[in-house]
Structure 1
Amino acid sequence: MKSVWLLILFITFSIVGYSQSKMSTNTSLLLMSLKHDTLSENYSKRIDKRFAVRMLGNERYVNAFIHLSDADKAYPALEELGVKVNSKFTGVITASVPVNEIESIAALDYVTYIEVGTPVHDLMDNARVAIQADDVRQGIDLPHPFLGTGVIVGVVDMGLEYGNPNFYNYDKTELRVKRVWDQQNSTGTSPEGFHYGTEFTTEDDILNAEYDTDSECHGTHVAGIAAGADTIDNVFYGIAGDADLAFVGYNGEFDGWDNISICDGIKYIFDYATSVNKPCVVNLSLGAWFGPRDGTSTFDKLTDSMQGEGRIVVAAASNEGDLPNHISKTFSSESNDSLSSFTKFSIATEGFVEIWGERGMKYTIQLFSYNIVDKKVRTYFDRIDASLEAGNEKIYSFTDRYKEGFEGEVSIVSEISPLNGKPHVTISQNFHLLIGGNYIGFTIRPITSGTVHAWVDDENGMTFTNLGINGYTSGDGKNSITEIGSGKRIVTVGAYVTRNSYTDMKGKNHNSGEIKGDIASFSSLGPTPDGRIKPEVTAPGSMVVSSISSYYDHLRSETILYKKEWNGRECYYAAKQGTSMATPCVAGAVATWLQANNNLTPEDVKSILKKTSIQDSFTGRLPEDGSNTWGYGKLNAWEGVKECLKMNPEGIESETVKPVIILSNDSNGFNLLFTQPSDHTKISVFDINGRQINDRQINGVGSGEEIPIRLEGVSSGLYIVKVISGYYSFVSKVILK
């Protein structure tokens, strides 16, 4: 053992004690990477990527939440240190912070806590039918169709093509994208009150900007599900096709995206909605592995504070329900027990572990290296008391691959989080070489009773394993709702399966192996650590087809189902899956609900979901407060609109009520409700090949009169109905069920 100890450098940092207690574990990890000059260049680059460190002029900056006891008194000192303030909230600001001044900022009298941003990632048709969005769109048994008219749908994402045909109005005469903030585009003017990115506010400027990045297409797919309106020769459009759109995009220039940028993006969209006096729903098909996941993070608290009447945020549950990324244990006061596990890499040899104990709990943690061939621990590291108010900071550097089995670094930082009083540990592993059979493990030992949860980040396929050793714990998918979906007012969405196969444009069939109607295997599970049931609802999230950016440079033909020409470009519709796809189904539905009642609060939306969500043979009979798999059940957009109208019978009047509304479509036909009178009227029905299958002449129709159109003998599917009178013409699609 003595020879092994000589191969490892144990480095303990002493960032000024008072300042350290005012910094999050992630902030400390960043500073440790700067202070430890023996760290590998690879590790330093990874740290920079993780925290989205970027250059502003000649200075390295990072985004941060800064908690203040007296903002007015703190601002002059912050400005002197080069801090660029972006969003302002009660007691908290978001800011761009010079990395070299972080300790000085933390030492300021009126700064109580500083948190650098944590990474955020995306979470990657018949969906409309499953949630009865087509009934909403056609206005069946409703006063008129509900398409999100007069509502803003905000999307914070990446891979956004601003001029995609799905983002125009139904007749393609107007672009519905009204605002764009490209957060990493530094070529133009930033939005008012912010100090980064470029804002585009006119249709010409938005179209000239074209897109945020060509390395992704996720945002265009998501926005198309929520609010796509490309109904011409296309069945893959979205739900709230008459809503205006506001985009916040990230173009990947600095290889990182953090929760602080997302928070700024939500505020930007809500501020725009306020300026035009419209209700707004923001879609977040995103997740973050780092944070307490109990609603006490700064992001969750600020997002909760921004919501209210006509201000709703809908977020993804995440895609970790089938991954062994979580372990937990509840210890009694008399317990001599422990919780031990190993971390395993499947893609790369770097990753992070986060451990959160219960508020007021005390425990220790000890890292060790293990060789599965020798079946023994090679090295025990320091036993760290995670309950120390001042925290701990250590880096272990491995320098001999042959003796230890690793080359690289392991860092560990602890704190008592001022956000919630919980003992919190972050472990960072970065190996540029790892010889097979070698693992890093850890053991948690309680000092007092309480529950401990631990999660790994999934970016590089890191998981928990017991290596088949008795007394060690493998990971599970429980408590797998990630940050962003964990907020107390956020509407969190899981995914179920409406499509399990498709045929691509080359005629090749693809099958997911999932069961139609059942929960998607990847859909993350509740509860949250504080015991709340999550998600609130599920929606279609398996092989959902929607638009993707035509600028995407990694296009895979096997995902493409349909393409069309638009403004000289080939535009594609592709299948994707994840709670990322389920979330905009709900956001689009909420937009139609806000049209019916523009004063809905997050609590109203959750109440509507509780009353109207579908329970079936797959969900089973759910408890009154929902389940940690299904929430309240499967989304029913149509019943939700009805519930909104009960709450607010007036609703928001449609700007242009259609002269004809399609009602009560079934396998034998449909009814036409005339909202305007007509004299000589011709009604024609065509199949999707343009063949006329019904023709009817009517001499006179009164306002409010309902005309039945019978189509016995025709197959179910999509048809076109055309009404021509002396006063108007009307064309629409109808689905015979």
Structure 2
Amino acid sequence: MVVFRSGLFFLAFLVIGGAWGQTMATVDRQALAELESLAAQHPSSKALVLAAQGHPVALVQGRATVGFIGLLNADTTPTAWRTWAQAHEAVFPGACRHGVASFRVDANHLDVLEALPMDRLELASRAVPNLDKARYGTRVDSVHAGLDLPTAFHGEGVLVGVLDWGFDYTHPMFYDTALTASRIRGVWDQYRTAGEAPDGFDYGAASLEPWEIQLMGSDTSNVYGYSTHGTHVAGIAAGGGAGVGLTGMAPASDLLLATLMVDEAAALDAFAWMQDVAEADNKRLVINNSWGLPQWGTPDGTSLSNVFIDGLSEDGVVFVSSNGNNGDSNFHIEQTFTTAGDTARSKVQFYPLSAHPHAWGQNLTLWGEPGEAFSANFMVTVGASTEVNQSPWFNTADGPFMLEAVHVAMEDTFVYDVVAEAAHPDNGRPFLQLRIHKGNTGLGVALQMTADQGTVHAWNHTHLSNDVGNWGQDFQAATSGWLQGTPAYGIQQPACGESVIAIGAYASEYLNSQGTEVGGSPAYFSSHGPTLDGRLKPNVSAPGVNVESSLSSFRDGAYAVTEEVEFDGMTYEFAKLSGTSMSSPAVAGIVALMLEANQNLSPSDVRDILEVTARQDQATGALPAEGEVEWGHGKVNAHQAVLAALNWVSWVGHPTLPDNPTGEDLMAQPNPAQERVLVSGNLSAQSTYRLVDTRGRVWQEGPASPVFRIDLQGMPPGVYVVMAWDPELQTSHTTRVVKTQ
């Protein structure tokens, strides 16, 4: 560590060489340094956990432990890893799937990290909930009624996993519709100290016995107290109605409820536990995540937690996640640089220190393109944009490094730290994090960034000193030529993952007393896509405004109660809450209906069906075939999704469809369609097409061209495949079309 003074700032600078053999992001090393300092200040484990609420620290067997995720090296098998971990008292192994392992380490013995048999290591991120007349709007009521379906579907035979906080195991919403038996298949309270942990894990208490679950009553108080978030979310996904008609999407599904200890390492453990139960029961599993990791990890789905999730998806687990609640924050800017010396500027809005007991300042995270270094600093301003002075410039090409500094301007002091990577271990992109504390000064701060070429993205999040904030603050165009922030690129982990179905939110439609449909507008808070690497998110949208569902009878917070029901001598209540926390479980429940209809659907099949059957209306407007960053592909349509699921076909192994088409790259509009569809693609004028159903029967064939029309009138509803052959290019091209009534 070198400390020096230059001009108006003091600087403490540390170049990262790394004592550990594993690849680890510098921002994680910075957090570990903070944890080591906190551990030295707080020898009591309980005191350390309280002092480190902004970090993945939790009590396990009475010891303060830190959550990690690692990638095993090529010579280490999962069995060898567990043997190694069990031989080290400071290490608590968790789940291991597809070479990615979660584990915890005693906070006072982090030196054991040096010997880990791993190639890559990540500090687990803190998780926070995404909380800020759904059956009609989603058309689930038609599925429950069996309208134009061979039978009604309610999610029977499918497990719905909910990873959250604040579960009331006794609530009648989690009973069958006759209120005679609980549908909770199993629970794992990762905070509970009394009871047996699940097989293969060392913390919390789990049960698969209905009588024992009822005796437990609820999960224990945790970082969110006695919350009700999980009870509300689970009720939306799979509530049985509790005798008052407030039925969830999949009222016949069984539930797996896991109370998340604090971070994504514990989340991966819960995913693995749910997968184990589902495999033992020989049932399909859909997992809902109404929480996110707003400031940590990579926004392009390349983190180890997303690699873990992608692996479980390959095993058949379907993941549904809330998109995030930063749709009303203009917290993102981007600039494409083409000329050396060009500089982009934007004013940084700060969250008021008085608004939160742990408010500290702003966390600015910047990402560039692989191989294209960039530089950034901050300017202190007075008035709208008049410069007072600037911090030094920091170039990602000098990374990896981290530093802490004090900057003085007009007798006011700014405390800040910087972390930089020339190539982040997860994705090879240059990365820079700049955290700034300006106290109560009236001076302003502007971010400046420059590069010779390439695009640089920046986000502005609130930073808390002893907690995790999941809300953005604006970037502002304080003067002409400065950048104005937008809500774009707001997708958080785990929703940004390739295999995760990300859900946006809108206000539920309903029929008013005159029989007119009202509502349906987009939720102001629903985060916008795409991901950093340009993939469309959200995939679809669902109701997330004033959604009515169950409240925990054990909660310690006050809510505006909308409904009450008496059950077993107790009063149970309901309330309306808003957030993508509410829209995600709606889709998770719909996925359960789809899996009941067709147990053979892969997670990618589920995603494709949801996208291709999503509906558009006056609120969405006409959406492009590739989707749109606020709505995704439109509003989820359970009825059409279940209808499509019944007739869906995968390419591989089908007797009449090509196993390896050049690509499912034709575009069909509209889709779904009732009468006709317009198909376009990279085809020559000599091309031909066939329209086949899922049994391989040919319904139509004829000439194709770059744009051609297919008439669907008179054909039965269902899923069809358009197969085009181009003799000039010697290529085959395909797409699926859903024919509606």
TM-score (norm 1): 0.77
**Within the alignment, does 1:86 sit opposite 2:90 as a pair?**
no
Say whether the 8 Å CA contact 1:67–1:113 is kept in structure 2.
yes
Question: 1:614-629 alignment to 2 at 5 Å?
Answer: 614-629=615-630
Q: Counterpart in 2 of 1:533?
A: 536
Matched, 1:410 2:416: yes
Q: Distance in 2 between matches of 1:172 and 1:546?
A: 17
1:301-312 → structure 2 map (5 Å cutoff)? 301-308=307-314, 310-312=316-318
Aligned-pair identity in percent equals 29
Alignment of 1:268-417 (within 5 A): 268-289=273-294, 290-308=296-314, 310-332=316-338, 334=340, 336-346=342-352, 347=355, 348-372=359-383, 375-378=386-389, 380-388=390-398, 390-397=399-406, 403-405=411-413, 409-415=415-421, 416-417=423-424
CA contact (8 A) 1:33 1:47 kept: no
Larger CA deviation: 279-288 vs 463-472: 463-472
> Alpha carbons of 1:155 and 1:131: their partners in 2 closer, same or farther (altered >3 Å)?
same
Query: How many angstroms apart in 2 are the aligned matches of 1:397 and 1:293?
Result: 29
Structure-2 separation of matches of 1:532 and 1:335: 30
Query: Is 1:263–1:302's contact at 8 Å kept on the other side of the alignment?
Result: yes
Letter in 2 for 1:345: Y
Q: How does 1:654-665 map to 2 (within 5 A)?
A: none
Alignment of 1:63-212 (within 5 A): 63-69=67-73, 70-72=75-77, 78=85, 79-80=87-88, 82-102=90-110, 104-105=112-113, 107-108=114-115, 110-124=117-131, 126-212=133-219
1:473 is displaced (CA, Å) by: 2.9
Summarize deviations over 1:396-451 as a string: whole Å, max 9, x none: 257x9992245xx42221222121101122233457xx224134443222144333
**How far apart, in 2, do the equivalents of 1:397 and 1:191 lie?**
48
What does residue 654 of structure 1 align with?
A: none
* 1:636 equivalenced with 2:637 (yes/no): yes
Say if 2:92 and 2:104, in contact at 8 Å, map to a contact too: yes
1:497 has 2:502 as partner: no
Note closer, same or farther for the CA distance 1:91–1:567 as it changes in structure 2 (3 Å cut). Answer: same
Change (3 A) 1:524 1:595: same
Distance change >3 Å, CA 40–CA 471, structure 1 → 2: farther
Give 1:325 deviation, angstroms: 1.8
Deviation at 1:138, TM superposition (A): 1.7
Q: Is the 8 A contact 1:239 1:588 kept in 2?
A: yes
Superposed displacement of residue 13, structure 1: 3.1
- Are residues 157 and 453 of structure 1, via their aligned partners in 2, closer, same or farther at CA, if it must alter by over 3 Å? same
Q: Which runs of 5+ in 1 are unaligned?
A: 252-256, 503-514, 650-737
Q: Does 1:586 align with 2:587?
A: yes
Distance of 1:223 and 1:624 partners within structure 2:
32
Match of 1:216 among 209, 227, 230: 227
Instruction: Say whether the 8 Å CA contact 1:310–1:599 is kept in structure 2.
Output: no
- Report deviation, 1:344: 1.2
1:547 CA displacement:
0.6
SS at match of 2:20: helix
**Structure-2-length-normalised TM-score:** 0.77
Q: Number of matched residues?
A: 619
Instruction: Summarize deviations over 1:494-513 as a string: whole Å, max 9, x none.
Output: 111126999xxxxxxxxxxx
Please give the secondary structure, in 1, of the residue aligned with 2:448.
Answer: strand
Q: Secondary structure at the match of 1:260?
A: helix
1:12 maps to 2:17: no
Alignment-derived partner of residue 419 in structure 1: 426
Shift of 1:524: 1.2
How many angstroms apart in 1 are the aligned matches of 2:308 and 2:470?
Answer: 29
The CA deviation string for residues 25-60 of structure 1, in whole angstroms up to 9 with x for no partner, is: 34222233256699999x998971111323446753
Q: 1:401 to 1:425 in 2, by over 3 A?
A: closer
* 1: CA distance, partners of 2:373 / 2:272: 37
Give distance in 2, aligned partners of 1:587 and 1:75: 33
Q: What is the identity, as a one-letter code, of the residue corresponding to 1:265?
A: A
Cα distance change, pair 174–374 in 1 and its aligned pair in 2 (3 A) = closer
Asked if the contact 1:33–1:44 (Cα under 8 Å) also holds between the matched residues in 2, the reply is no
> Alpha-carbon deviation of 1:572?
1.0
**Superposition deviation, residue 469 in structure 1:** 3.6
- The answer as to 2:245 corresponding to 1:235 is yes
- Which sections of structure 2, spanning at least 5 residues, go unmatched? 464-468, 513-517, 651-741
> 2:240–2:247: 8 Å Cα contact kept in structure 1?
yes
Name the CA shift for 1:556/1:181 in 2 (closer, same or farther; >3 Å). same
- Contact preservation (8 Å) 1:355, 1:455: no
Distance in 2, Cα, partners of 1:423 & 1:569? 57
Q: Please, which of 243, 246, 251 is the counterpart of residue 256 of structure 2? A: 246
1:191 aligned partner, one-letter code: P
| Secondary structure in structure 2 of the residue aligned to 1:481 | coil
Kindly state the Cα deviation for residue 100 of structure 1 after the two structures are TM-superposed.
4.3
- Give how far 1:291 is off: 2.4
Separation of aligned partners in 2, 1:327 and 1:567: 54
Kindly report the root-mean-square deviation, in angstroms, between the aligned alpha carbons of the 2 structures. 3.3
Shift of 1:95: 0.5
Three-state SS of the structure 2 residue aligned to 1:463 is: coil
Higher mean alpha-carbon deviation, 130-139 vs 586-595, is at: 130-139
Does structure 1 residue 483 correspond to structure 2 residue 490?
no
